[in-house]
């Protein structure tokens, strides 16, 4: 059976927002960070992947300002739930770090009552509740989460309304295109497109067919 992995093209809708990260992220001047909450729960690994594909990071409360903003978003979007943070011990059991590499000991938060307990030796991912308290939970469980992008990651958006330099505007269709050279199955390709704010390319005209044919020719 032939492999279902294919190269794919991502079509990105034109958005000319200037001086920001992405239009679906909101900037906090106090935290100096862009944030985007996700209400649909995901396991920790998928949450991390989604944030990464959006050019962001699974959020961790690494400062009092970031913690305050995360709590505000939680109370607004999912007040009764814990959320996954980027703090994890998936590499070495009990050694907790953020995705960016900050050790848990340097993070200004407290544990919830009776936490951490590492129940059944299966809890390697850290959640945050509305009171700003941490708990360890199985990474395979599902929780809402927040993606963030610190201001020091900032770069100017291009004419396609994205910070990704691989997107290029074609004036014949007034659309932006990106050719992904990393093979993925259909569902992961769909995820990558959605996470980057676009969708899998659809041929809507003879002109667009020509544009895509020319793009494919660059990657023989």
Distance CA 121, CA 20 (A): 42
3-state secondary structure of 84: strand
Q: Are 9 and 177 in contact (CB under 8 A)?
A: yes
What angle, rounded to 10 degrees, do the helices at 44-53 and 186-195 form? 60
3-state secondary structure of 147: strand
Distance CA 176, CA 2 (A): 30
pLDDT digits (tens, 9 = 90+) for 123-143: 999 999 999 999 999 999 999
Q: Are 135 and 124 in contact (CB under 8 A)?
A: no
Distance CA 136, CA 116 (A): 6
One digit per residue, the tens of pLDDT, for the chain of length 220 reads 344 334 444 444 333 333 467 778 899 999 999 999 999 999 999 999 999 888 899 999 999 999 999 999 999 988 888 999 999 999 888 899 999 999 999 998 899 999 999 998 999 999 999 999 999 999 999 999 999 998 776 566 677 777 677 778 888 888 888 888 888 888 778 777 777 767 788 888 888 888 888 888 888 7
Q: What is the pLDDT of residue 19?
A: 45
Instruction: Using alpha carbons, list the distances in angstroms from residue 107 to 7, 87, 188, 198.
Output: 41, 10, 33, 35
Cβ–Cβ contacts within 10 Å for residue 63, how many?
Answer: 17
Extents of the domains making up the chain: 6-16+159-217, 26-152
Q: What is the pLDDT of residue 4?
A: 37
Distance CA 105, CA 203 (A): 52
Q: Are 21 and 116 in contact (CB under 8 A)?
A: no
Q: What is the pLDDT of residue 207?
A: 86
Question: What is the DSSP-derived secondary structure letter of residue 112?
Answer: P
- The verdict on domain 26-152 having CATH code 3.10.100.10 is yes
Q: Are 38 and 74 in contact (CB under 8 A)?
A: no
3-state secondary structure of 8: strand
Q: Are 57 and 51 in contact (CB under 8 A)?
A: yes
Distance CA 214, CA 207 (A): 11
Q: What is the pLDDT of residue 1?
A: 38
Tokens of 89: 């011990």
Distance CA 141, CA 125 (A): 10
């Amino acid at each position: 059976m032939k492999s279902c992995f294919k190269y794919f093209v991502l079509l990105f809708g034109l958005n000319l927002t200037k001086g920001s990260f992405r239009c679906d992220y909101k900037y906090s001047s106090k935290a100096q960070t862009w944030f985007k909450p996700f209400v649909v729960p995901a396991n920790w690994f998928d949450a991390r992947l989604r944030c990464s594909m959006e050019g962001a990071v699974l959020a961790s409360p690494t400062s009092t300002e970031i913690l305050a903003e995360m709590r505000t978003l939680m109370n607004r979007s999912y007040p009764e739930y814990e959320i996954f943070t980027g703090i994890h011990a998936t590499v070495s059991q009990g050694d907790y770090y953020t995705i960016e590499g900050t050790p848990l000991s340097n993070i200004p938060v407290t544990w919830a009552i009776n936490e951490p307990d590492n129940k059944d030796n299966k809890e390697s991912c850290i959640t945050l509740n509305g009171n700003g308290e941490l708990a360890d939970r199985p990474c395979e469980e599902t929780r809402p989460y927040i993606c963030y992008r610190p201001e020091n990651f900032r770069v100017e958006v291009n004419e396609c309304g994205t910070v990704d330099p691989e997107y290029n505007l074609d004036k014949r269709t007034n659309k932006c295109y990106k050719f992904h050279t990393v093979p993925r199955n259909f569902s992961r390709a769909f995820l990558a497109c959605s996470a980057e704010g676009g969708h899998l390319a659809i041929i809507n005209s003879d002109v667009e067919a020509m544009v895509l044919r020319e793009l494919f020719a660059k990657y023989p």
